[in-house]
Amino acid sequence: MTKKRRIAVLTGGGDCPGLNAVIRAVVKTAVAGELEVLGVTNGFAGLVEDWFRPLGDAEVSGILPRGGTILGTTNRDNPFHYPVENGGVCAYRDESERVLANLKRHNVEGLIVIGGDGSLKIATLLSAKGIPLVGVPKTIDNDIPHTERTFGFDTAAMVATEALDRLHTTAESHHRVMVLEVMGRYAGWIALHAGIAGGAHCILIPEIPYELAKVAEHVRQRAAKGKPFSIVVVAEGAKPVGGALTIARRVEGSFESIRLGGIGEKLAGQLEDMTGMEARCTVLGHVQRGGTPTSYDRVLSTRYGVAAVEAYLRGERGVMVALQENRIVTVPLSCVADQPSNVPVEGELVRVARSVGVVFGNE
């Protein structure tokens, strides 16, 4: 009997809604194309530690609406900078040759990597070592270049919007300033989309450094006009003019050692002191990553998964599938790494928000 060709799929970096939908689409498309599929568990660590398992129709049945990833993931393990304990001391080594050996041992001829910018950077390095590879863009932050949308973003923005809807009623009832801190790292896409959709009065994003005095003045002006409450959405990477990022902690060995967080509580305290109005902060955190994906994310994830396998079968290597003008295309992985996609300061969405009265703290 002729041995079937075999590919592997992994999910790297932080989890987000839609990962399982991509895995399902990869498996179903691959099986229809006469390919066998192995799942790599726990991200890039699985490539190094030889953690592979078969994936077929039975394994992906029913996972379309599930959040998270059935394969597991990690945002700490990089095969080119891999933690190895020796005599109780942790050191970092290049273990990429182990990855090549493990893929060869399992007769894996190609790899589908589903991940954000950190994972796709590693994928680029693996591709350079000769591994036939196709990337799929994943992040709730929507900050990967050359694609109009990453899956997971729509769900995260919807979660934040629903939180704003709820905060509106309690803010108005108690005449408070309610600050909602959302994720997004160094891009303000979640804050901007949720802020517009949720009727926020002030949106603070990394791309537009804010002046605290101007934010406080806007809150006071609303109160003077008979609106003694305000809703402020702040992205975790926002910072004041001339100020620094608010860092929660640092994690050695992670794709991203700096963990942002805390700007919301800081801002709420400052606004309370400056306006005399009671201010409270809500931090959504990982609630934005969890739960079932929206229908948009399920469809986009499925399109990406199908496109990744189809690109592989066409012989494309070292590419990422992307959404451009509502069409799925492929772009070179080398164009993606270390080139974040930020909110255009002069773009339509910022202009639209300003037109309906939203302030960004620099007016």
In a domain, 303, yes or no: yes
Contacts of 110 (CB under 8 A, 6+ apart): 7, 8, 131, 132, 133, 134, 312, 317
Condensed to tens digits (0 to 9), the pLDDT of residues 34-75 reads 999 999 999 999 999 999 999 999 999 999 999 999 999 988
185 & 36 share domain: no
In terms of residue numbers, what domain contains 300? Answer: 5-151+292-335
Q: Is 273 a catalytic residue?
A: no
Q: Quick one: what percent of the chain has pLDDT higher than 90?
A: 85
In a domain, 69, yes or no: yes
CATH number at residue 282: 3.40.50.460
Phi, psi of 22 (to 5 degrees): -65, -45
120 & 219 share domain: no
133 & 22 share domain: yes
Q: How far is 64 from 279, CA to CA, in rounded Å?
A: 40
Q: How far is 252 from 249, CA to CA, in rounded Å?
A: 10
35 & 160 share domain: no
Phi, psi of 17 (to 5 degrees): -65, 135
Q: Which of 15, 77, 141, 297 is catalytic?
A: 141
* Cβ–Cβ under 8 Å, residues 191 and 231: no
List of E strands, 46-193: 52-55, 82-86, 89-93, 110-115, 133-137, 177-182
The region of weakest confidence among 2-16, 198-212, 216-230 is 2-16
208 & 348 share domain: yes
Average pLDDT for residues 221-239, to the nearest whole number? 96
What pLDDT does residue 253 have? 61
203 & 350 share domain: yes
Q: In this structure, are strands 279-283 and 258-260 parallel, antiparallel, or unpaired?
A: unpaired
Contacts of 222 (CB under 8 A, 6+ apart): 201, 228, 229, 230
147 & 159 share domain: no
